[in-house]
Structure 1
Amino acid sequence: MVTENESKQRLHLVFGGELTSLKSVDFRDLSALDIVGIYPDYASALTAWRGKAQATVDNAAMRYFIVHMHRLLDPELS
């Protein structure tokens, strides 16, 4: 149980893959998606996202995303 002094977890998923087109978010190969990880807060997720995005900067079709899982799990929690 979360007390008033503790903040709720706000889980974020970082993942990416190569897109079929720069104008869409359709992935070329779903089996090759890079699931970077699940992070307890946005700051941690952003650090992981930034590292992966910078490491793949030479591949214009490669994109990484941050999914706000806490919004999916509890839509009233924003």
Structure 2
Amino acid sequence: MSDKQLLHIVIGGELTSLDGATFKDLKKIEFVGAYANNAEAVSAWRAKAQSTVDNALMRYFVIHAHKLIDPSADDHAH
């Protein structure tokens, strides 16, 4: 694994419907954390998603922030 930091952010919250990614209340979005690589972010995402499996509208997302900051950044973890 590379030592290069590739910033990933995990957030989540309740959606308005199962057919999209519109949050019901932006003030209630949960910031799970910032992670140095995709593997760590996916691990955090998986834990949060599994802990809220009883609420079908609760969804968590991994945001590849390093690609927003530097679109030329290459993530070899995929």
State the TM-score, normalizing by the size of structure 2: 0.89
- CA shift, 1:17, in A, is 0.4
Determine whether 1:61 maps to 2:60: no
Answer yes or no: is 1:77 the counterpart of 2:73: yes
Aligned alpha-carbon RMSD (Å): 1.0
Question: What's the offset of the Cα at 1:67?
Answer: 0.3
Q: Name the SS for the 1:7 alignment partner.
A: coil
For 2:40 and 2:19, locate their aligned partners in 1 and report how far apart those are by CA, in whole Å. Answer: 28
Show the counterpart of 1:9.
Answer: 5
Q: List structure 1 runs of 4+ shifted beyond 4 angstroms.
A: none
Partner of 2:20: 24
Tell me, which stretches of 5 or more residues in structure 2 are unaligned? none
What is aligned with 1:3? none
The SS at the match of 2:40 is helix
Q: Shift in Å at residue 8 of structure 1? A: 2.2
Q: Which residue of 1 aligns with 2:48?
A: 52
Q: 1 CA distance for matches of 2:62 and 2:55?
A: 19
* 2: CA distance, partners of 1:70 / 1:8: 11
Larger radius of gyration: 1
Q: What is the rounded CA distance, in whole Å, between the counterparts of 2:3 and 2:23 in structure 1?
A: 35
